[in-house]
């Protein structure tokens, strides 16, 4: 199949499976950690202990995914690696809320480095992240996503996304490290999630728009190639 041919349509997705997947991902990675930190802080836990305990929920999200799909994909490997790295970094050195905030920033910076490093691999990191969130986990949807790699436009978009995510997280990490040393811990506890989820939200919105534009450009190229072929026939 040539790059000028239209890309195959995505297979029908299970609406129930997709809804459950997104609910678990958002609930366990965003809502539960915030609620847990607030509840534990109100009970007299130290900021450090509350922050550390809040990190259990993302681990549970990964475990649920592994049990549900009964396989370890690249996304799960990366997630487990960074969860383990976060735990090691958090427990090492000085145990204070400010130190934990700085260490957490360093981990997101490492994620930015990983994004850029995977540009040297056969497929960049955003290819695997895209497959996690653009499919419902079935073999059919995975095969469809993997098949898109043959298209030059798709490969270009995946690499561009990986560059943008990598640079964005390096900037975000640098900003959080700087603010961790200039703001009070109380102020940083407010600024930290704003920076984390604000950066993530902007990147997700940009990614969605970029993906839509890429699909539109691919369709336009395929249509133009079809008209050219008809004119030459």
**Burial classification of residue 151, based on how many CB atoms lie within 10 Å of its CB (0-12 exposed, 13-18 middle, 19 or more buried):** buried
Residue 230 has, within 13 A of its CA and on its CB side, a CA count of 6
* Higher per-residue confidence, 109 vs 164: 164
Range name among 142-151, 166-175, 192-201 with the lowest pLDDT average: 192-201
For residue 18, is pLDDT > 60? yes
> What pLDDT score does 1 carry?
43
For residue 169, is pLDDT > 90? yes
- What does the pLDDT look like over 35-60, one tens digit per residue? 887 788 788 887 667 767 877 787 78
DSSP 62-107: HHHHHHHH-S--HHHHHHHHHHHHHHHHHHSS--SHHHHHHHHHHH
> What pLDDT score does 74 carry?
61
Confidence of residue 3 (pLDDT cuts 50, 70, 90): very low
Range name among 11-20, 46-55, 122-131, 210-219 with the lowest pLDDT average: 11-20
pTM of the model: 0.67
Confidence of residue 2 (pLDDT cuts 50, 70, 90): very low
Average pLDDT for residues 167-180, to the nearest whole number?
92
Mean confidence (pLDDT) of the chain: 78
**Which tokens hold the place of 88?**
């090691």
For residue 95, is pLDDT > 50? yes
Average pLDDT for residues 201-219, to the nearest whole number?
83
Backbone φ and ψ for 3, nearest 5 degrees, come out as: -65, -20
Where b means 16+ CB within 10 Å and e means fewer, 210-226 reads ebeebeeebeebbeeee
* Higher per-residue confidence, 23 vs 73: 23
Confidence of residue 126 (pLDDT cuts 50, 70, 90): very high
CB count within 10 Å of CB 229 equals 10
> What pLDDT score does 214 carry?
76
For residue 80, is pLDDT > 70? no
């Amino acid at each position: 199949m040539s790059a000028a041919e239209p890309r195959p349509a995505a297979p029908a997705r299970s609406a129930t499976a997709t809804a459950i997947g997104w609910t678990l991902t958002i609930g366990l990675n965003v809502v539960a950690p915030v609620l847990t930190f607030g509840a534990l802080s109100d009970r007299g836990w130290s900021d450090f202990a509350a922050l550390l305990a809040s990190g259990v929920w993302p681990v549970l999200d990964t475990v649920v995914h592994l049990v549900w799909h009964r396989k370890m994909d690249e996304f799960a490997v990366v997630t487990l690696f960074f969860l383990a790295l976060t735990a090691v970094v958090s427990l090492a050195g000085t145990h204070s809320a400010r130190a934990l905030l700085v260490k957490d920033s360093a981990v997101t910076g490492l994620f930015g480095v990983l994004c850029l490093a995977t540009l040297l691999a056969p497929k960049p990191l955003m290819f695997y992240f895209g497959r996690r969130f653009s499919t419902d986990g079935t073999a059919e949807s995975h095969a469809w996503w993997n098949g898109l790699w043959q298209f030059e436009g798709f490969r270009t978009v995946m690499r561009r996304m990986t560059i943008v995510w990598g640079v964005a997280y390096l900037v975000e990490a640098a900003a959080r490290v700087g603010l961790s040393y200039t703001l009070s811990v109380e102020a940083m506890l407010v600024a930290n999630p704003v920076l984390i989820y604000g950066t993530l939200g902007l990147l997700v919105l940009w990614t969605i728009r970029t993906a839509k534009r890429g699909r539109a450009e691919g369709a336009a190229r395929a249509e133009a190639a079809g008209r050219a072929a008809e004119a030459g026939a």
